[in-house]
Structure 1
Amino acid sequence: MLQRVFRAYVGSFSDLRREVWLLAFITFINRAGTMVIPFLSLYLTKNRGFSLDEVGWILTFFGLGSVAGAWLGGKLVDRIGHYKTMALSLLLSGVLFILLQFPVSFWGICAGIFIVMLVADAFRPAVFVAINAYSKPQNRTRSVTLIRLAINLSFSAGPAVGGLIIAGAGYSGLFWVDGITCMLAGVLLLKLLHPKKAVENPKEFISIPKSAMKDKPYLIFIGAMMLFGFVFLQYFSTMPLYYARVHFLTEFEIGMLLGMNGFLIFLFEMPLIKYLESKIRSPLFHVITGTVLVAISFLLINLFGWIGIVVVGMIFLTVGEMIAFPFSNSFALKRAEGGKQGAYMALYSIGFSIGHIFGHNSGMQLIDKFGYTLTWNVMILLSLISCGLLIYVIYLVKKEDRSTIIEFNNS
Structure 2
Amino acid sequence: MSTATFLQAKVGGLPKPFWALWTGTLVNRLGTMVLPFTGVYLTQARGLSLGAAGLVMAVFGAGSLASQLLAGVLADRIGRRATLAGSMLATAATMLALGFSTTLPAIMASMFVLGLVVDAYRPASNALVADLVSPAERPRAYGLLFWAINLGYAVGMTGGGWLAQQGFALLFWIDAISSVVFAVLVWRAVPETKPEVAEQEGGFGVVLRDRVMVAFTLVILGNALVYLQTVTMLPVAMAKVMGLGEFGLAMALNGVLIVVVQPLVSDWLGRRDLSLTFALGVAVMGGGFALTAFVSSPVWLAATIAVWTIGEIVTAGIAGTIVAALAPAHLRGRYSGLFGFAWSLASVLAPLVGSRLLDVGPKTLWFSIGGIGLVSAVGMVALAPAIRRRAALNES
| Same fold flag (TM > 0.5) | yes
SS at match of 2:244: coil
SS at match of 1:305: coil
SS at match of 1:169: coil
Deviation at 1:57, TM superposition (A): 5.3
Deviations 1:218-244 (A, max 9, x none): 544432321221221121234345566
User: Does the 8 Å CA contact 2:76/2:331 hold for their aligned counterparts?
Assistant: no
CA radius of gyration, larger in: 1
Deviation at 1:398, TM superposition (A): 6.2
Distance 1:144 1:58, change over 3 A: same
Distance 1:44 1:129, change over 3 A: same
* Alignment match, 1:185: 182
In the aligned structure 2, how far is the partner of 1:171 from the partner of 1:246? 31
In the aligned structure 1, how far is the partner of 2:276 from the partner of 2:175? 39
In the aligned structure 2, how far is the partner of 1:107 from the partner of 1:243? 35
Distance 1:326 1:379, change over 3 A: farther
What is the CA RMSD across the aligned residues, in angstroms?
4.4
Deviation at 1:390, TM superposition (A): 4.1
In the aligned structure 1, how far is the partner of 2:29 from the partner of 2:65? 18
Q: Which is worse superposed, 355-364 or 42-51?
A: 42-51
* 2:378 is aligned with 1:387: no
* 2:59 is aligned with 1:61: yes
In the aligned structure 1, how far is the partner of 2:124 from the partner of 2:239? 36
* Alignment match, 1:304: 295
Deviation at 1:116, TM superposition (A): 0.8
Could you tell me which amino acid in structure 2 is paired with residue 34 of structure 1? T
SS at match of 2:12: coil
SS at match of 1:100: helix
* 2:93 is aligned with 1:95: yes
Distance 1:123 1:393, change over 3 A: closer
Deviation at 1:268, TM superposition (A): 1.8
* Alignment match, 1:230: 225
* Alignment match, 1:264: 257
2:347 to 341, 347, 356: 356
User: Does the 8 Å CA contact 1:55/1:361 hold for their aligned counterparts?
Assistant: no
Alignment of 1:95-114 (within 5 A): 95-101=93-99, 109-114=107-112
In the aligned structure 1, how far is the partner of 2:147 from the partner of 2:72? 23
In the aligned structure 1, how far is the partner of 2:7 from the partner of 2:347? 33
Distance 1:10 1:338, change over 3 A: closer
Structure 2, gaps ≥5 residues long: 389-396
User: Does the 8 Å CA contact 1:221/1:390 hold for their aligned counterparts?
Assistant: no
* Alignment match, 1:36: 34
2:12 to 7, 11, 14: 14
In the aligned structure 2, how far is the partner of 1:389 from the partner of 1:77? 29
SS at match of 1:34: coil
Alignment of 1:277-296 (within 5 A): 283-296=274-287
Alignment of 1:4-403 (within 5 A): 7-41=5-39, 43=41, 48=47, 50-51=49-50, 58-78=56-76, 80-101=78-99, 109-131=107-129, 135=132, 141=138, 143-166=141-164, 168-189=165-186, 193-194=188-189, 213-214=208-209, 216=211, 218-242=213-237, 247-249=242-244, 254=248, 260-276=253-269, 283-334=274-325, 344-363=335-354, 370=359, 373-374=361-362, 377-388=364-375, 390-392=377-379, 394-395=381-382
In the aligned structure 2, how far is the partner of 1:399 from the partner of 1:78? 25
Distance 1:393 1:30, change over 3 A: closer
Structure 1, gaps ≥5 residues long: 402-411
User: Does the 8 Å CA contact 1:16/1:139 hold for their aligned counterparts?
Assistant: no
Could you tell me which amino acid in structure 2 is paired with residue 384 of structure 1? G
Deviations 1:8-52 (A, max 9, x none): 24434324343332222121111221123333455556665644x
Distance 1:222 1:24, change over 3 A: closer
In the aligned structure 2, how far is the partner of 1:150 from the partner of 1:273? 13
Aligned length: 385
Deviation at 1:355, TM superposition (A): 0.8
Could you tell me which amino acid in structure 1 is paired with residue 368 of structure 2? L
User: Does the 8 Å CA contact 1:291/1:387 hold for their aligned counterparts?
Assistant: yes
User: Does the 8 Å CA contact 1:56/1:362 hold for their aligned counterparts?
Assistant: no
Distance 1:342 1:261, change over 3 A: same
User: Does the 8 Å CA contact 2:26/2:148 hold for their aligned counterparts?
Assistant: yes
SS at match of 1:308: helix
Deviation at 1:329, TM superposition (A): 4.3
In the aligned structure 2, how far is the partner of 1:182 from the partner of 1:213? 32
* TM-score, normalised with respect to structure 2: 0.75
Q: What is the percent sequence identity of the aligned residues?
A: 24
In the aligned structure 1, how far is the partner of 2:234 from the partner of 2:34? 16
